[in-house]
Structure 1
Amino acid sequence: MSIRAENLVWKIGSKTIVDDVSLIARPGEILGLLGPNGSGKTSLLRLLAGLKRPLAGRITLDGQDIGTIRRRAIAQRVAFIEQHATTNANLKVVDVVKLGRFPHRSMFSGWTSVDDAAVNSALDRTELTAKRNDTWQSLSGGEKQRAHLARALAQSPKELILDEPTNHLDVHHQIGLLRLVSTLGVTSIIALHDLNHAAMFCDRLLVLQAGKVVASGTPEDVLTRELLRDVFSVEAHVSPSPYHAKPHIHFVR
């Protein structure tokens, strides 16, 4: 397995944020993480990325406990795109993407042809090659998100963790970004708010409520009328999409 979490617990003070969570992300699949605000999604993703240590439980990468892996080695294989990822300096797009190569370089190593190849490939896969010399502040919101994804891809990751990457994007850019992630062939764990997007692009789903896992499985198994009512407090009909084999949710007014 690519990423496995077993009985994770994490707290802030006396408040339990992640409560006995277990999951498996299989090689090459997209695992969607769903749940209402405050359900613990972001905290769980930061644990999986090695940015926080659980109070209990364990996380393994290909069977090795993440707690025994050096931080730099984790960064060489796990890329994390935060929900509110920002770039303050008005760098060129190519310079932003180059930041993804830092985990692979030592203090004294120079820039290599391998680094160039990784950056150029990341720009090409995110369709940003033509904008490589544009300044950061000149980009649209969708282009900035693609640039963050390109920076992550420049790390040459085996695992990609994304925290609501479509937040604040228009529908066109939301679908474009998720379609891009779905073509990468990289093990991905992605927190999403849009349930129909989760059904369209994710191989499996895991649903959190108050820090606990309340459902996991394929979109067809997880996205039921009962779960939508009990977890998300919405009434909806769930039926097969006319455009793909995944379920489609029709919300009731």
Structure 2
Amino acid sequence: MSIAAEQLTWRIAGKTVLDAVSLEARPGEMLGLLGPNGSGKTSLLRLLAGLKQPHSGRVMLDREDVRAISRRSIAQRVAFVEQHATTNANLKVVDVVKLGRFPHRSMFSGWSSADEEAVEDALAKAGMTGKRNDPWQSLSGGEKQRAHIARALAQTPRELILDEPTNHLDIQHQIGLLRLVSGLPVTSIIALHDLNHAAMFCDRLVVLRQGRVVASGHPADVLTEDLLRSVFSVEARIERHDHSARPHIHYVR
């Protein structure tokens, strides 16, 4: 086990947003989180990243309750890429990525060779080495997302959590970003809207509806015509060459 939720319940203003949610992301896999708007995906990701505390249940990192782990230690191994991350427009790309090293540095420590190596490696993995000295405001939407992923990778995380990172990107950048994440040597949990992208890139899926898990497993087992109808209110035809193949969804007009 890499990261897991055990019976998480979270409320806001008296409303239950997550109701006894459990899931497990295995080491090295890409776990996709699906569900309609308002199903609790963002709240769940924030709980998993340690940014919120559940009203009941717990989040585990390698079988240790995160409440027993310091915030700095969590930040050294869990990186979170928000849906609408913002950055000071006066910074260069390399300066944005360097922000990812803060959890690993003390107040009085200087910039080390390990810091430099982590930043350079993150830029390379995100395909942003050639943009390292470009000003933030000059980047395209896809490049900004890649820069934020590079900042997360500079944390040298073991777990990477992403909240709908492909929103507002064109199809080329959506595919490129998902290909990047799926190829990283980390455990990743990613919330997605596009069901075909989830089927294409994720090792396993968890589907939420009204704050509860209604399905989990391999994309071929989870993405069924009945589930699309009951959870997403769409009529679709599922195409696959055999039972174990990744499904492709054809929406009915």
State TM-score, norm by structure 1: 0.98
What pairs up with 1:120-199 in 2 under 5 angstroms?
120-199=120-199
Q: Secondary structure at the match of 1:67?
A: helix
Give the aligned CA root-mean-square deviation in angstroms: 1.2
Match of 2:214 in 1: 214
What SS does structure 2 have at the residue aligned with 1:85? Answer: coil
Whole-angstrom CA distance in 1 between matches of 2:192 and 2:198: 7
Contact 1:28 1:188 in 2 (8 A): yes
Query: 1:27 is matched by which residue type in structure 2?
Result: P
Deviation of residue 16 (structure 1)? 0.2
Closer/same/farther in 2, CA of residues 239 and 112 from structure 1, 3 Å limit: same
What per-residue deviation string (whole Å, max 9, x for no partner) do you get for residues 110-165 of structure 1? 00000000000000111111110000000000000000000000000000000000
Pairing of 1:41-52 with structure 2 (within 5 A):
41-52=41-52
Checking the alignment, whether the CA contact within 8 Å between 2:8 and 2:21 is kept in structure 1 is: yes
- C-alpha contact 1:31 1:205 (8 A) present in aligned 2: yes
Question: Any residues of structure 2 matched to 1:110-129 within 5 Å, and which?
Answer: 110-129=110-129
* Paired amino acid for 2:205: L
Contact 1:39–1:209 (CA<8 Å) still a contact in 2?
yes
Residue number in structure 2 paired with 1:93: 93
The answer on whether the counterparts of 1:72 and 1:103 sit within 8 Å (CA) in structure 2 is yes
Structure 1 distance, partners of 2:236, 2:171, is 21
Query: Helix, strand or coil: the match of 2:9?
Result: strand
Using the TM superposition, give the Cα deviation of residue 90 of structure 1 relative to its aligned residue in structure 2, in angstroms. 1.9
Letter in 2 for 1:70: S
Distance 1:214 1:73 in 2: 32
In 2: Cα distance, 1:131 partner to 1:159 partner: 25
Q: CA deviation at 1:241?
A: 6.8
1:80 maps to which residue?
Answer: 80
Equivalent-residue separation in structure 2 for 1:101 and 1:224 (angstroms): 42
Give unmatched runs, 5+ long, in structure 2.
none
Q: In the alignment, does 2:10 pair up with 1:3? A: no
Give the superposition deviation at 1:33.
0.2
Q: Report the counterpart of residue 13 of structure 1 in structure 2.
A: 13
Q: Give 1:208's aligned amino acid.
A: L
Kindly indicate whether the alpha-carbon contact (under 8 Å) linking 2:78 and 2:160 is maintained by their aligned counterparts in 1.
yes
State the 1:13 CA deviation: 1.9
Contact 2:220 2:245 (C-alpha < 8 Å) held by counterparts = no
What is the distance in 1 between the residues matched to 2:4 and 2:183? 22
Quote the sequence identity (%): 75
Question: How far apart are 1:89 and its partner, in Å?
Answer: 3.0
Aligned pairs, number: 252
Partner residue of 1:250? Answer: 250
For each residue in 1:20-58, what CA deviation from the matched residue of structure 2 results, as whole angstroms up to 9, or x when unmatched?
000000000000000000000000000000000000001
